[in-house]
Structure 1
Amino acid sequence: MNRLLVALLAAFDAILAVAVGLVAALAPLTLLWIFGFGADAPWAGLWPAAGRIWQLGHLVPLAVSLPEELTVPLGIDAAAASFTVSLAPLALTVFTAVFAFRSGARAAAAGAWVVGVLTGAVVVVAAAAAVLATTANDIAAVEPWQAVALPALVYTVPAFAGAVSVAWRDGDDGVVDSVRVVLDRRGGAWSEVPGLIARGTAIVLMALIGVGALLLTAAVLLRGSQIIALFQSAQVDALGASVFTVGHLAYLPTFVVWAVSFIAGPGFAVGVDTVVSPVGTQVGPLPGIPVLGALPESASPWLLLLALLPVAAGALAGWTTRSQLVRDRAGVPGPEPMGARVVVTLGIAVLSGAGAALLAAVASGSIGPGTLASVGPDPGPLALTVGLEAAIGAAVLLLSPRGRDEPGGALEPVQRVPEPAPTTEPIPVAFDATPDPHRDDDGMAGPETTADRGSRPPVD
């Protein structure tokens, strides 16, 4: 495809991703302005509020300073009137990342992924700069470089990942193919190692996210009464309940990452010097956020068995990549290369830990003053535990010898061709070809007739 056309399509994808994200933030705020504030609502503050929500959803911290006309009636201490909000509603982040991944993949399929990724990044930088310039307000301030760079990273990194994944699979006649040529020269299975590592890492992280979502669903169902009680204690009307619900949906991926950290073992914090983990739960006074009613009141030793789930995710990744290695080496003589399997195991462990650390970093931050300045999982412990658990599971399947009944296994018996049974030469027997009238067709003596007896010479 023409590079100019690829650039135009990538620019359109980037503009659409930014526009949809802004509309997703603007639509509920518009309803709040109409039904909550009425006709006297200051409409000039609608767009700045929507822009700040979009920026927060793209990992931009907000420095909030509440005015006195708001803090005095509500009885808020002046020391608590200024704080930072950096816990991102990851629903907006996930949408932009998925959209960018698909855009990068399409650009790579068109044969110009570098042009597509760079064009999308430039367009997002321009859009983020425009949002920054038009959303200035005194209540929520942002750092200009963060307001431009962080949304660009949220778009560019997934777009690059999508482009490289397709280019590695289909080729790009450029940098990716050059890397494959270098690996092909090493021989063996080394050319497939990067793809196997990426596949195994994706399996581990997707499996963890899946089990995290299941755990969150189970917690909501089991402690639904506490969540409803917190909704009722807020004493909000239908509009307020709708705002609560929309906010919970926006932060749903954030809570899933918290559940992943709980499963892996380190747990997460809901304030300074607090922890919620399978080992124990230690929390102080919590804000009246309904979803916090799903937190367990106490720990149980049985919850430690949840740590087997990341090990199982690593085993699944190891089984998948080992099977792919066997298929790729079908018909190739010799045992499977141990060096490639070791590298794949280490790569899955390292990248799974790095991915878990990234998830923890974007799912943690501040939601208010005081103890609420630190909520979410700690990236370091989560990276270490997920990396070790994934390494154990992957090593069991990748480094163990294959069984006798598995193709290509080191213990598979050699198929031998059966030797033919020894044969002996028949012993030649001399016989008279003259037919004997006293024998029938099968060589047996037949019944003797009267004529035969008459022709027999007399016996002395």
Structure 2
Amino acid sequence: MHRLLVALLAALDAVLAAAGGIAVVLAPLTLLWVFGVGDPDWAALWPASAAVWHLGHLVPVTLTLPDTYLAATGIDPALATFTLSLAPLAFAAFTALFAARSGVRAGEAGAALTGWLSGSLVFAALSSIVALTSNAALVASETWLAILLPSLLFLVPSFIGAVLGAWRVGDDGPVDAVRGWIDRMPRAWAPVPSLVLRGLALTTLGLVAVGAIVVVAGLVARSTQVIGLYQASNADGIGATVIALGQLMYLPTLVLWALAFTAGPGFALGTDSAVTPAATQVGALPGIPVLGAVPDSTSSWLLLLVLLPVGVGALTGWVLRSRMPSTADPEPLAPRLVVAASVAVLTGGVGALAAVVSTGAIGPGRLADTGPQPGPLALALGLEVLVGLAILLLSPRLGDADREERTDLRADHGDELPSFSFAPRAHVPFDRDDHATGPAPSVSAPGTGIAHDVWPSAYRGPDEVALPGGRAGTDAVAAADGAILDDDEVQARIRAAWAATDERDSGPRS
């Protein structure tokens, strides 16, 4: 594909990624303005939409409550200004997926660098425009963070996608150079880099799936509390819709919280609070319906949730082990150990990153501290995944014990040991007497035997001549008073036997 076309397509992906995220917020607010619901102000729609988009891309947003609102609600004026930094990660996930797809397409088209630079620069330009035009008196954010963080959320996934795309098809450059260096490694070590990356992808997807399952289970188990908070909000149809959409945007954040809960360290819902399988201690919480899924108390049975990350590690180890090359000799331990340790360490790093992006403030005061802690979550996930990996990745493969035993026997006996495990059968020469049937009875009365003219000739020896009359004809030729006959005499006797047979067959029949 032409580089100019790749650059244009990457730029289009960047525009769609930025516009799609902003449109998700701006479109509902525009509908409210069009229909005049709540007397919205058009001048406030763009700053509000940009603020939500920035928050979804990890940019902290500073909110200032107006004096009229403080007077109507009785809120302490000291809490009028606060920072909101807990990100609705659905926006970041949308941007990252778009960027990764754009990078993969550019890499497979043979213009990875061109596509990556084009998309990243266009998205950075759009982020700058949004940051410079969206600040308002009540909603504001740091301009440099509003440009940098969204740009990084597009740049990094796009780069990873471009490398993966170039790896699939080759680039006649650094990617092929790395591939050649890996191919020149010893046979036991050559698949290690790809196995580590594959293992990291499997553990990441598996842990996200575990978090999603726990979220669904929590919502089902405490559905009564969730519905009660909905009813307590006294929201009308539009308000309930806005609340539901807002919680949907925070769904990836909740999944990461559930993962931290499953792994053991848990998460916080305010200063000096903790939600873990071992114990739960929370204070007053905002009336957000989805927070009704947070358990009031825990049971010791919830500690068994730790087995889920261990199971993810075991499944990853089984997949990686099946892709390791098998050899006639026992597999070396060092490559498997490196793969297990590397996947566990990288998984711990992913856990720390997940904790960083899912931590922030959801309000003033004690609500400024919510989410999991990076260090404990990284350590817990790394160790749990390592245990699962070690169960299947470091254990002997089925059949390795037999190969080791045969190797030891060959070392003791040399080449005398056969390659098969059972004793060879001794060769026994063919014995004509053992297989001969003897002269057949000539009577054909029922129950007295088989007539000689229907006796099978499958048991005659390899040097016997097939004559009419079967065994009788052969005996006629062989009976020569024990004398040794030459070839001419044998042929003469054979012709005589044939002639006698012809005369017998041509005689009168009764």
In structure 2, distance between residues paired with 1:104 and 1:372 = 38
The 3 A distance-change label for structure 1 pair 33 and 273 is farther
In structure 1, distance between residues paired with 2:42 and 2:235 = 23
Summarize deviations over 1:374-413 as a string: whole Å, max 9, x none: 111111111110001111111111111111299x976799
The 3 A distance-change label for structure 1 pair 164 and 409 is farther
Correspondences of 1:192-341 after superposition (within 5 Å):
192-326=191-325, 329=326, 333-341=328-336
The 3 A distance-change label for structure 1 pair 264 and 411 is farther
Amino acid at match of 2:340: T
Name the counterpart of 1:92.
Answer: 91
Q: CA deviation at 1:101?
A: 1.1
Partner SS for 2:136: coil
In structure 1, distance between residues paired with 2:128 and 2:464 = 115
Establish whether residue 387 from structure 1 lines up as the match of residue 382 from structure 2: yes
Establish whether residue 6 from structure 1 lines up as the match of residue 1 from structure 2: no
Establish whether residue 344 from structure 1 lines up as the match of residue 339 from structure 2: yes
In structure 1, distance between residues paired with 2:62 and 2:229 = 27
In structure 2, distance between residues paired with 1:260 and 1:36 = 42
Q: Is the 8 A contact 1:86 1:367 kept in 2?
A: yes
Segment of structure 1 superposing worse, 392-401 or 275-284:
392-401
Partner SS for 1:202: helix
Name the counterpart of 2:427.
Answer: 422
Q: CA deviation at 1:238?
A: 1.2
Q: Is the 8 A contact 2:464 2:474 kept in 1?
A: no
In structure 1, distance between residues paired with 2:112 and 2:406 = 44
Segment of structure 1 superposing worse, 27-36 or 276-285:
27-36
Partner SS for 2:323: helix
The 3 A distance-change label for structure 1 pair 5 and 265 is same
Q: Is the 8 A contact 1:105 1:165 kept in 2?
A: yes
Name the counterpart of 2:445.
Answer: none
Name the counterpart of 2:484.
Answer: none
Partner SS for 1:84: strand
Name the counterpart of 2:454.
Answer: none
Name the counterpart of 2:458.
Answer: none
The 3 A distance-change label for structure 1 pair 310 and 424 is same
In structure 2, distance between residues paired with 1:87 and 1:278 = 23
Greater relative contact order, per chain length (Cα 8 Å cut-off, separation 6+): 1
The 3 A distance-change label for structure 1 pair 220 and 127 is same
Identity rate of aligned residues, in percent? 51
In structure 2, distance between residues paired with 1:359 and 1:36 = 40
Amino acid at match of 1:441: G
The correspondence for 1:401, drawn from 396, 401, 414, is 396
Segment of structure 1 superposing worse, 174-183 or 233-242:
174-183
TM-score (norm 2): 0.80
The 3 A distance-change label for structure 1 pair 432 and 311 is closer
Name the counterpart of 1:184.
Answer: 183
In structure 1, distance between residues paired with 2:265 and 2:292 = 20
Summarize deviations over 1:429-458 as a string: whole Å, max 9, x none: 9x999x9x9x82364999xxxxxxxxxxxx
Establish whether residue 20 from structure 1 lines up as the match of residue 52 from structure 2: no
In structure 2, distance between residues paired with 1:32 and 1:197 = 50
Q: CA deviation at 1:107?
A: 0.9
Amino acid at match of 1:294: A
Partner SS for 1:213: helix
Partner SS for 1:367: coil
Q: Is the 8 A contact 2:336 2:394 kept in 1?
A: yes
In structure 2, distance between residues paired with 1:394 and 1:231 = 43
Amino acid at match of 2:2: N
Q: CA deviation at 1:112?
A: 1.6
Q: CA deviation at 1:209?
A: 1.1
In structure 1, distance between residues paired with 2:419 and 2:26 = 69
Partner SS for 2:473: coil
The 3 A distance-change label for structure 1 pair 425 and 91 is closer
The correspondence for 1:368, drawn from 359, 363, 368, is 363
Q: Is the 8 A contact 2:132 2:143 kept in 1?
A: no
Structure 1 residues without counterparts, runs of 5 or longer:
447-460
In structure 1, distance between residues paired with 2:24 and 2:332 = 50
Name the counterpart of 1:456.
Answer: none
Summarize deviations over 1:132-170 as a string: whole Å, max 9, x none: 111120112111111011001111111122222233333
Name the counterpart of 1:440.
Answer: 472
In structure 2, distance between residues paired with 1:144 and 1:395 = 47
Q: CA deviation at 1:336?
A: 2.6
The 3 A distance-change label for structure 1 pair 432 and 20 is closer
Partner SS for 1:203: helix
Establish whether residue 357 from structure 1 lines up as the match of residue 362 from structure 2: no
In structure 2, distance between residues paired with 1:394 and 1:228 = 41
Name the counterpart of 2:121.
Answer: 122
Summarize deviations over 1:302-345 as a string: whole Å, max 9, x none: 1011000001101111111111113xx5xx55433322211111
Aligned length: 436
Amino acid at match of 1:195: S
In structure 2, distance between residues paired with 1:378 and 1:322 = 33
In structure 2, distance between residues paired with 1:32 and 1:336 = 66
The 3 A distance-change label for structure 1 pair 255 and 134 is same
Name the counterpart of 2:495.
Answer: none
How well do the aligned residues superpose, as a CA RMSD in angstroms? 2.9
Name the counterpart of 1:42.
Answer: 41
TM-score (norm 1): 0.88
In structure 2, distance between residues paired with 1:259 and 1:179 = 38
